[in-house]
Structures are given as structure tokens and as C-alpha cells.
Amino acid sequence: MKHNMELLQELAAKNGPLCVGLDTDPSYLPAPLLKVLGSPAEAILAYNKEIIRRIAADNSACCCKIQIAYYEAMGLAGLKAYVDTIKAVKDAGLIAISDIKRGDIADTAKAYARAHFSGEFETDIITVNPYMGFDTLKPFAEYATPQNGGKGMFVLLRTSNPGMTDIEQQELKNGGRVLDRTGNELARLGTEFKEFYPEQKCSPIGAVVGCTEESDARLLRDAYPEMFFLIPGYGAQGGAARIAATLLDKAGGTVNSSRGILCAWKKDADLADRVESGNLCLKDLADAAEKAALASKADLLGAKKELGI
């Protein structure tokens, strides 16, 4: 048996490293089209499904990252769209990453793990915040064993936001930074799964490593060669393909692009002009998203080739 992180690693090698972020906000769709498609939740689900269908058909991505906050903001209808989006991703043969960034202690962490690794919200891989302490990771990690489904988790390590310097980059008294201490613990935790997956090519414990700064990219990639990375920051946040490609070395990773794909239609002058007239359909938006996904895949693969990765 292979755990979900290894399945994602294999799919990234086959389809390319792109992760399509379905952090879909109603404001990303033109208002006239929103009215035609029904409620905001219904419109978002329809858009998500069309994008998923296309990226699965043309093998432009290996996974989708669904940021739960956008769906929670729409209430119960939004959570139903969230569940249906996860199902659509998995039905399409792609890996579903639920971006929930949970991190709590004891029974609360167990409840979060149970909620997102079983039942209605069940997903393949989740994101986890470790900054309440490493004991918060254990309840999630328990689901990575074969008997519990071989789930995976991406733990926040070096994020892509400017405020990451407030905590992650802080120097420790005994040397190194907070993020280095975190990374070392994730690597140690990953070794515990070798008894379950003796032939694994990466750990089920991955890390979130942003590609907005070049300084840490090679350092972190070399420090954790067996760790698969979730790489945010590419595209709309200004992260360069070259930096992302560096992080794709060794165990590899998947590079997320959300707004760059979801809002690609806004960069098409013809489509933008048609918004006011209401002469714009879901297919038009999905066409633009599909082209953007294919272009992102080509950009990332080109950067990998240029670096000899």
C-alpha cells in the first residue's frame, strides 16, 4: 500500500507539478453570470466542476487545493459545495488537498482529524498549523498509517506571506530558526512511517514551503530531501517559477496557483468587455482557466528543465 502523499508524488511526476487552488470566491465570477447560475454556492460549485473536468482531461494538474474558508463564509450551502468539490476532485482521479490549517491540542485535535479524515468532509491530504506545539500533530499523523487510510498532511514550515518573519524566521537561543526546528521535527516524524511503508519515496508528512523568496529555497530543499512540498506563492503572489522549480528537486512537490487560474478570464480583454452586456457563459471562464493551467504547467516544467531537475 502507498500513502496519499506518495500517490500525489507519482501523479505530479505523471501530470506535472501544478496544483489548482479552488479557493473560489463569488467575487471571482462576473455578477451577471452569478445570477444565472443560482446562489453563490451553486455558481462556485458549477465553476469548480468545470475546471476539474478540464484539468483532469488534459492532465494539466496533479491535484486541487480546496481552501475551506471560502466555503465556510457561504454557510451551510457553502459547506455542501465544499464537500461536492472534494468528491469531484477525487472522482476525476486527482488528489484532494483540503486547506484547513487546523492546529489544536488533545481531544480537539482528534476531533479535527476525525472530521476531515473521515465522514462527510473526508479528504486525501490536509494542511496543519504546528505552532501550538508538536503534540498537535500526533492526532493527524495517526491517520497516515495503512490501517487508518494512509492520509497525508502538509505542515506549515515556511509560508509565503510577508508576516512569516514574525515567527518562522525568529532565531532560537540554541541556534537556528523556528522554521528549522519545525522542519527537523517533521523530518523526524516522517521516519516513524518507514516501518509501515518501507519502500516509500517520500514521507506522508509534507511541508508548506512558499516560493516568494529565493534565499531559503535551496537550503530547505537540501535539508529535507525526503519531504514532499506544497508550494504556495506562485503567480498572483509573485513567486517565480525558478524558485518553485528549485523546491521541486529531490522528493519534489506541487505548486499551487489559485487566482491566476480562477481569475484568468479577467486578463482576457474580449471577455472583460462582455461582462457588462451579460454575454458571458461558464464555458468562457473555464476556457480561460484551462489555458492558464496549461500555461502554468509549461512554465513550471520549463523552469525545471532549465535548472536540470
Domain membership flag for residue 244: no
Residue 247 in any domain: the answer is no
Residue 273 burial (10 A CB sphere; 0-12, 13-18, 19+): exposed
Q: Give the tens place of pLDDT for each residue, 39-51.
A: 999 999 999 999 9
b/e for 34-59, b at 16 or more Cβ within 10 A?
beebeebbebbbbbbbbbbebbbeeb
Is residue 307 in a domain? no
Is 26 part of any domain? yes
Query: For residue 73, is pLDDT > 90?
Result: yes
Active site residue 101: yes
Residue 246 lies in a domain: no
pLDDT band at 236 (very low <50, low <70, confident <90, very high): low
* Averaged pLDDT of the chain: 95
C-alpha 44/C-alpha 117 separation (Å) is 24
Instruction: Reply yes or no on whether the pLDDT at 75 is more than 80.
Output: yes
CA dihedral 230, 233, 239, 244 (to 10 degrees): 0
Helices (H) and strands (E) in the chain, counts: 13, 8
Q: Is the pTM of this model over 0.75?
A: yes
DSSP 8-state assignment for residue 177: B
Number of domains into which the chain is organized: 1
Nearest to 16 by CA among 67, 59, 57: 59
* Predicted confidence (pLDDT) per residue in 105-114, tens digit: 999 999 999 9
What pLDDT is attached to residue 302?
A: 96
- What is the arithmetic mean of pLDDT over 259-288? 89
How far apart are the C-alpha atoms of 177 and 287, rounded to whole Å?
A: 44
pLDDT band, very low/low/confident/very high, at 237 (cuts 50, 70, 90): low
Catalytic residue among 2, 87, 90, 101, which? 101
Confidence of residue 235 (pLDDT cuts 50, 70, 90): confident
Range 257-265 average pLDDT? 96
**Average pLDDT of span 270-298:** 90
The x, y and z cell numbers of residue 218, run together, are 535551496
Side chain identity, residue 280: L
Q: What is the CATH number of the domain that holds 198?
A: 3.20.20.70
* Statement: residue 123 has pLDDT above 70: yes
For residue 240, being part of any structural domain is answered with no
Q: Which domain holds residue 109?
A: 4-235+254-302
Q: Is the pLDDT of residue 238 over 70?
A: no
Question: If you average pLDDT over residues 261-268, what whole number do you get?
Answer: 94
Q: What percent of the chain has pLDDT over 90?
A: 89
Confidence band, pLDDT 50/70/90 cuts, at residue 273: confident
Question: Is 218 inside a domain boundary?
Answer: yes
**3-state SS class at 241:** helix
Look at residue 274 and tell me if it is in a domain. yes
The helix, strand and coil proportions of the chain, stated in percent and rounded to the nearest 5, come to 55, 15, 35
Taking the C-alpha atoms of residue 249 and residue 246, their distance in angstroms, rounded to an integer, is: 6
Asked whether the predicted pLDDT for residue 276 surpasses 90, the reply is: no
What's the rounded mean pLDDT across residues 264-280? 84
Residues in the chain: 309
